Amino acid sequence: MKLIVQDIHKSFKDVSVLKGASETFEAGIIHGLIGRNGAGKTTLFHIIYHELTADSGQILIETDGITQPLQRRDVGMLFSEPLLPDFLTAYEFIKFFSEAQGKDVAFDLMFDEFDLSEQDRHRLMKDYSHGMKNKVMLMMLFIQRPKVILLDEPLTSLDIVVAAQMKQWLRRLKTDHILLLSTHVLDLARDLCDRIVFLHHGELSELEPAKLHQADFEQSIIEALSDA
């Protein structure tokens, strides 16, 4: 299975953000998307997620040798700021979400697996920490099982234990899905990602695979994103 980003252009007024961005992302690995602030990473994610429309270009999905336009139902996204209804408990929300997806879920087992206590799962989400909300968002992805999963700075502001748990769950998800992870944290990119793709000057390019685990990894990133 492959996600094909094909010649994507996007401008906002007089500012051209994406200038023919093209790349192919395969299932089974975690792709790290790295770029400087304002490079257009979130813009690209929102185009893939169908929240923005590209000025030109296509987002395609290839499955079993058949290529077609990517559908909104085939994409899930974990936002840097979790978006959840504060007036519901996590249990109420996950039950509603699973029913809307037509999925049969063993709720208590899932909450146990994601380390949300009996008390917490029946507490209003307005009182949740950032990490707890991220767990609920991740539970949604495990229920939905979309072909493409976008992760926009997913480990921001998480404590050490929750961040480690999130890494384990994301590694489980990559087997049958296409995962794109946007991050500014180079240590996280090297630890979690199997491949690094740059977004620089509106275009996508790949870091030479061998450099991901070499001592000069950080220097390679700096050089690739430098305007010098």
CB atoms within 10 A of CB 187: 10
Q: What are phi and psi of 203, to 5 degrees?
A: -125, 155
Task: Give the pLDDT confidence score for residue 23 in this predicted structure.
Answer: 97
Q: Which residue has the higher pLDDT, 54 or 82?
A: 54
Task: Give the pLDDT confidence score for residue 218 in this predicted structure.
Answer: 84
Region 153-157: mean pLDDT is 72
DSSP state of 124: B
pTM: 0.88
Give the least confident one: 16-25, 145-154, 160-169.
Answer: 160-169
Closest Cα partner for 22 from 202, 218, 208, 223? 202
Tell whether the model's pLDDT for residue 109 goes beyond 60.
yes
DSSP state of 179: E
Tell whether the model's pLDDT for residue 228 goes beyond 70.
no
Give the neighbor-by-neighbor strand order of the sheet with 148-152: 75-78, 148-152, 178-182, 30-34, 195-200, 203-206
Q: Which residue has the higher pLDDT, 67 or 79?
A: 67
Tell whether the model's pLDDT for residue 170 goes beyond 70.
yes
Task: Give the pLDDT confidence score for residue 157 in this predicted structure.
Answer: 64
8 Å CB contact between 126 and 133: no
- Per-residue pLDDT of 29-71, as tens digits, reads 999 999 888 889 999 999 999 999 999 999 999 999 899 999 9
Cα angle, residue 118 at apex, residues 115 and 123 outer, rounded to 5°: 100
Task: Tell me how long the chain is.
Answer: 228
What contacts 186, CB < 8 A, 6 or more positions away? 34, 217, 218, 221
Domains of the chain: 2-82+146-225 (3.40.50.300)
For residue 178, which amino acid is it?
I
Closest Cα partner for 176 from 145, 132, 213, 130? 145
Give the least confident one: 29-38, 128-137, 155-164.
Answer: 155-164
pLDDT tier at 87, thresholds 50, 70, 90: very high
